[in-house]
Amino acid sequence: MPYASTRLITTEGSAGVRNKRLSICLKANGFSFAETTAEGVLLTFGEAEGQHRQSMTTAIGEVKTFFAEMNIRPIGYAAMELVMCSDESTWVPDELFTPSLTRQYLKLVGGKGFPVLTASSKAIASTAVFVANEQLATAFKVALPGLNVVNQHVKLSSLSGKSVGKALVAIHWRMGRVDVACFRNGRYLYGNTLHFTGDAEVVYRVVELMKVMKLEGENTEVLMLGEVDRRRYARLAPYFPVVSLYGGEAVHYSNPEFRSLHTYRHALILM
């Protein structure tokens, strides 16, 4: 079925605002999206459901139609990005990165998937090499010219600034997986995607990871994002010195409906 809006919160007059930022995060059966200004004002938040089409032409048409109906057109945006969650990825420092070697980079860490995409992280001066649906990424890029495609690890790397003067472990929950990123005093130390069968396994593997990375000190903060609920929060809290939910930057808004959003659940499009 075509993409259909399941939730939309918008600000009156937002269509006339220029130099906005548009962020889209793909899900298995749709996507979420948000418009913000350079000053951090949240203008629009929406969620859509629908099958991602295999036909390139159909996919492009349905993406164009959906955003046109939301009164969102790729004009006047300072930046637009599409976040695609990938289970296979690695980092290559920018000064060592060679575009023709992308598949070899993934093979070095046991990656077997294809096709391979790349995205740069200014926060850590490295390029993420990851497996994703290239056809779907292309469909969104054609429908929204100027769209930049990144993966979840590029987004999580931007949290390095939050670790100045302390250690930080970010855990991004999604279906059957967690994306983990470790930082110390503004430096990115580690990033990976872990598969799990139960929340207890996540606790065990994160505890072991913190030991290996020497991050089990009292000033280490565990920051939770994504599909977090009270049960998961309560399970992790006893094992770590500080556990918190991602609250984002100082996001301002004029529409009181935005208060119903849980920032940590939508961190990838709000950070």
HEC string of 195-251 equals: ECCCHHHHHHHHHHHHHHCCCCCCCEEEEEEECCCHHHHHHHHHHCCEEEECCCCCC
Predicted local distance difference test score (pLDDT) of residue 250: 54
Residues 6+ apart with CB under 8 A from 122: none
Q: Examine the pLDDT at 156 and tell me if it is beyond 80.
A: yes
Segment 36-61 shows an average pLDDT of 89
DSSP codes, 104-164: HHHHHTT---SSEEEEEETTTTEEEEEE--HHHHHHHHHHSTTPEEEEHHHHHHGGGGGGT
C-alpha distances (whole Å) from 58 to each of 53, 73, 112 are 7, 18, 29
Kindly report, residue by residue over 107-155, the tens digit of the pLDDT.
888 878 788 999 999 999 999 999 999 999 999 999 999 999 999 999 9
Segment 24-51 shows an average pLDDT of 91
Query: Rounded to whole angstroms, how far apart are CA atoms 173 and 144?
Result: 28
Query: Rounded to whole angstroms, how far apart are CA atoms 204 and 143?
Result: 43
Query: Rounded to whole angstroms, how far apart are CA atoms 135 and 54?
Result: 8
Question: How high is the mean pLDDT of the chain?
Answer: 90
Predicted local distance difference test score (pLDDT) of residue 251: 60
Q: Examine the pLDDT at 185 and tell me if it is beyond 60.
A: yes
Kindly report, residue by residue over 186-220, the tens digit of the pLDDT.
999 999 999 999 999 999 999 999 999 999 877 88
Predicted local distance difference test score (pLDDT) of residue 254: 67
Q: Examine the pLDDT at 233 and tell me if it is beyond 70.
A: yes
Segment 35-47 shows an average pLDDT of 87
| Structural domains for the chain | 4-85+137-146 (3.30.420), 89-131 (no CATH), 160-245 (3.30.420.260)
Tell how far CA 243 is from the center of its chain.
20
